[in-house]
Amino acid sequence: MKTALFIVGENIKYNTILVDYIQRAIKESLQALDTFYLLEGSDKNLFLSLEEAISKNNKLVIATDEKNFNIIGKILSTIHNDSLVLKQEMLLPSKSSVYDKNTYMIETKNNKINVLRIKENQKLPAILLNKQNNIKFINVFDIDEESCQILLNPIAENFETKIKIIKIIEGWNLIKIESLKYGQINNFIESAKQLLNKNLIPQEDVLLYIKYKLIKNNNKITVAESCTGGLLSSMFIKYSGASNIINGNLVTYSNDIKEAWLGVSTQTLKNFGAVSEQCVEEMLEGAVNVSNTDISLAISGIAGPDGGTNEKPVGTVYIGAKSKDNGQIIERLHLKGDRIYIQNQAALYAIKLLLKLKKDIFF
């Protein structure tokens, strides 16, 4: 069972925040997104690309702008030997099984196709496709991919499921679990949790899981970050109810602000530099003190493309996690990729370090 998103139209294609919104909505609604197409309405291969997407995917969401909405309807009618009719102020194939304002669905023997008419700065139309109940995801930490396979494959076979391991960062694997004909996904997850008790989070969204666990344990967290520029903070704050776990976060990009806001000493910055274990240690301490929270995370590094040296090349990042009652962990990383990929990896490593520091809460 494969799910694809097919986006058509210049008004969407070059509007990156709108594309992100559509992708998020599809993933949240359907809990799966295997393939992603992005085309302009004037693309001469539009018909063939759409025909290919239909042939290769069981579920297809077509998100199109106003200009190309009727064109998509005509193509679908041609593919399915159908004609267009006017319903709900839309021209749509007459065989559409369900429709609502700016959205309709076509069902065939092999496919379900949901067409959405997208308008900028508006809420998305209703997604009419159902969730894939035969697929779930879990996260496994501090176990390599090969060991995951060895440990989880026998359980998967026992409960008639199959697994796919996706490496997020070093020591963090996302496990896709797909039910076969008589598969028992929930039983697989329960058995895997018993086996990997201190390494497994039985949900796909790790940040949401962390939020609930922090609330349950009445813990608050603060973040002090430099090279990630607020990225880690945004990962927490994007969730409703973030005020229950966060009083405030700090982006301390310059050395002067590290000193003024976090109390990093001039001597530390002079002797070791901002990208150092010593600086991150003081950032952790300063963040806990200024926010009066239980846990702090800190990041300082060189995301590039400039700023690297022989001693500290681009991709050198120090990440720390500190708890008032559990001590602290600081690690030096050597990350690869462009600036944005390095920043994203650094933020995810900080999340992994938080889980490692507070295993008593999260596992």
**Mean pLDDT, the chain, as a whole number?**
96
**Per-residue model confidence (pLDDT) at position 356:** 96
pLDDT tens digits, one per residue of 161-211: 999 999 999 999 999 999 998 899 999 999 999 999 999 999 999 999 999
pLDDT tens digits, one per residue of 56-105: 999 999 999 999 999 999 999 999 999 999 998 999 999 998 999 999 99
Mean pLDDT over 210-220 rounds to 97
Residue 265 pLDDT exceeds 90: yes
- Long-range contact pairs involving 232-240 (C-beta distance under 8 Å, separation at least 24): 232/297, 232/299, 232/346, 232/347, 232/350, 232/351, 235/207, 235/347, 235/351, 236/207, 236/210, 236/211, 238/207, 239/207, 239/208, 239/211
Q: Spell out the domains of the chain, with CATH numbers in brackets.
A: 3-118 (3.40.980.10), 135-204 (3.30.70), 207-362 (3.90.950.20)
| Pairing status of strand 90-93 against strand 84-87 | antiparallel
Residue 133 pLDDT exceeds 90: no
pLDDT tier, 130 (very low <50, low <70, confident <90, very high otherwise): confident
Q: Which helix (H) or strand (E) holds 79?
A: helix 66-79
